[in-house]
Chain A
Amino acid sequence: MAFIAGMVNVASFLIFFSFSSNVTGYFAIFAAEMTKGDYYQVVMVIGWIFLFFAGSFTSNFIVIHFRRRGQYTAHAVPVILEMGCLLMVGLYGQFAYQETLRETEALLAIMFFAMGLQNGLTAGISNFAVKTTHLTGATTDLGILLSMFTKEKFRTNTELVNKAKLIGSTFFAFIAGALTAGFIYPALQFGIFYVVCVLLTLVVLYDVIYVGILRLVLTLRTKRLSPTPPSIPHRTTAQRRALTTPFVSGKDPAREKASAVQPARCEETTVR
C-alpha cells in the first residue's frame, strides 16, 4: 500500500503540480493563503483536506460497520473504492482532460479522497500504528526507535525490532513506489493510474490467494503426515457404540466413558 501511495503522490505532483497523499503541508498553505487574503486558494485547500478526511472517515466507517458481513469484505471495500477513484482519474485524464484548472482541482480532489481511504484503512486496522500515505510519523518513529537501539535492552526487544522493520519496509515501499512512478511517468502519463489499479487488485486478491495457497499447503502437509485428519479422534467400536446409545439420566455416560478411555493415538496427537 505504501508503494501505491508513493506512486500516486509522485504522479499527482508530476501531472498536477500538487501532492495528494498527505495534507500537512496544505495546513501551512491554508494559513499562508489566509494571511494573503487569497480566499480561492483557502477554499480549495480546505476542500482537499476535507476530502482526505472524508476518505479516512469512509474507510473506517466501512471497516467497523461492515465487519459482520466478513472481515475480508470490510477490508476489501475501501480498497475497491480507492481503485475506482484512481481508475476514474486515469480514464478521465487519458480521454477527456482539457487541462483546465477546474478539472485539475476535481481530479486532485478525487485523489485526496482515495489517499484518505487508503490511510484510513491501514491506520484503522493497525490500531493507528501504520500509515502508508506519508512518512512524517514514520520518520519520527524511526528516529525514536534508532535512538532507543543505542541501548542494548531495547535492541533485544523483539517488539521494538519488529516495529523498526515495519517502518523500514514502509519507507522502502513508499520510496520505491515514488521512484517507479518517476521513471514510468514519461512513458505512461495518465496510464500510471492503471498500473496503480492493477497493484490494488493484487492487494484485494492477496488475502484470497494467500489463504488459498495456505490451505492447499496445509492440506497437503496434513495428508502426508497422517492419513487420518488429527481433528477426528480415533475411537474404538465400543466407544462409538457407547456414544450412539441414548442416555436417560442427566449425565452422559457414553461421553464420560469415552473421555475416560482415550486411545493411544489421540494422546499422541495431543502431545504433538
Chain B
Amino acid sequence: MKIKPVWPVYALLILVTLVGFAWVKKHVSGPEQMIVGTWRELSWEYERVNTPADKQRLNDRDTIAQSVKDQLGKHLMIHSAETWKFHPDGTLTLEGPGDVKIIRWKLKGRGHILELEHRDHTVEHYNLTALTNEQMILNFDSDMQVKGIAKLTFHR
C-alpha cells in the first residue's frame, strides 16, 4: 500500500512530541505546585482604569487607599485577608486581622485562572498574571467605585 512509508514518520512525530512533553512536564514545575505555600499581601493597585477621570479620582496614586480597598473588596471573599495559605489538598486559608476563612482553590485554563470557592459555593475568579517562587500577582475586574482592573501583589 502506498501510505505505508508515511506511517512511521507520523508515529515517530507523535512519539517524539509525547516524550518531549513528558520530559518537560517532569522538569518544569507547574503552577499547581508553585502556588502552594504562604503568601503575604503586599499591595492592591489599580493597574488599568477605564477613563482618565477615574485615574484622577485615585489622585494619580497607584496604590489603593484602605477605604477604596474596603469598598472594592466588600463583595469579595478575599476581603481583609492579608495572608493566604495555599494547601496541596485544594484548601486555602485566608487570614486577616481577627478573621480566618477556609475556602477551596483550583486552577483553570492553562493555569492562569485562580478559582476560589466559598463554603456556600460562591465562586470567584482571578487572573493569575504572574507566579514565581517569590511573587504572585492576581488581577480581577472591578466595577466598584472606579471601574477597572485591580491588581493584588503577594510575596512569600
Contact = CB atoms under 8 A, between A and B. Distances in A.
A252 B54 CA distance: 96
Interface residues of B, number: 26
Interface stretch (A37-45, A137-145, A228-236): A37-45
A164 to B, nearest CB: 36
A101 B107 contact: yes
Contacts of B107: 101, 104
B32 A100 contact: yes
Interface string A104-127: 110010000000000000000000
A212 interface: no
A232 to B, nearest CB: 39
B21 A65 contact: no
B62 to A, nearest CB: 21
A99 B28 contact: no
B28 A17 contact: no
Nearest to B24: A43
Given A36-B130, A54-B14, A47 B109 contact: no
A105 B110 contact: yes
Contact of B108 (A16, A45, A50): A16
Given A41-B111, A41-B112, A101 B17 contact: no
Contact of A65 (B3, B24, B29): B3
A61 interface: yes
Interface in A34-87: 36, 38-41, 43-45, 47-48, 50, 54, 57, 61, 65
B25 interface: yes
A101 B30 contact: yes
B113 A17 contact: yes
Given A18-B110, A54-B14, A99-B106, A39 B32 contact: no
Interface of B: 2-3, 6, 10, 14, 17, 21, 24-25, 28-32, 106-113, 115, 125, 130-131
Given A43-B21, A50-B17, 15 more contacts: A16-B109, A17-B112, A18-B109, A18-B110, A40-B28, A41-B110, A41-B112, A43-B25, A45-B110, A47-B21, A65-B2, A99-B108, A101-B32, A101-B106, A102-B32
Interface of A: 16-18, 29, 36, 38-41, 43-45, 47-48, 50, 54, 57, 61, 65, 99-102, 104-105, 108
22 contacts: A29-B110, A38-B131, A39-B28, A40-B29, A43-B24, A43-B25, A43-B28, A44-B111, A45-B110, A48-B110, A57-B10, A65-B6, A99-B108, A100-B106, A101-B30, A101-B32, A101-B107, A101-B111, A102-B32, A104-B107, A104-B108, A108-B110
